[in-house]
Amino acid sequence: MPDTGDVVWLQFPGAIATKRRPAVVISSSTYHAARPDVIVGLVTSQISKAIGPTDFVLTDWKAAGLRVPSAFRTFLVTLPTSSVIATLGHLSALDWQAVQECLRRAVAL
């Protein structure tokens, strides 16, 4: 079961096509205990396009198991946990804090 803040590899349904890509797990352990799915946010290597207030260029991308500089974008999907192919790593505390701020900006709670 993936943990909050994990960077996972999965089939991510995009706006145009579905492709294998990394994503950040944003659903909580409480959510995972009651549901068979996971909520993730997109990770992209196209950092030049990550310019919105709900985007964040990861500072510790290597520690998160990513091969190239990458950014989190608040493009969220809910997928079956079985769609997670592998766990690449985990966001640093600093990067996770920035991702949480992106989520707060994106969702009116």
CATH of the domain at 92: 2.30.30.110
Burial of 109 (0-12, 13-18, 19+ CB in 10 A): exposed
For residue 29 the two structure tokens come to 């352990």
Instruction: Tell me the pLDDT tens digit for each residue of 58-94.
Output: 999 999 999 999 999 999 999 999 989 999 999 999 9
Q: Where are the beta strands (DSSP E) in 26-70?
A: 37-44, 55-57
Does 18 score more than 90 pLDDT? no
In a domain, 26, yes or no: yes
Q: What is the mean pLDDT of residues 89-100?
A: 98
Residue 17 is part of which domain span? Answer: 6-106
Write the CA distances from 52 to 43, 47, 69, 74, 81, integer angstroms: 14, 11, 17, 9, 28
- Tell me the pLDDT band of 16, cut-offs 50, 70 and 90: confident
How many domains does the chain divide into? 1
Instruction: Tell me the pLDDT tens digit for each residue of 20-47.
Output: 999 999 999 999 999 999 999 999 999 9
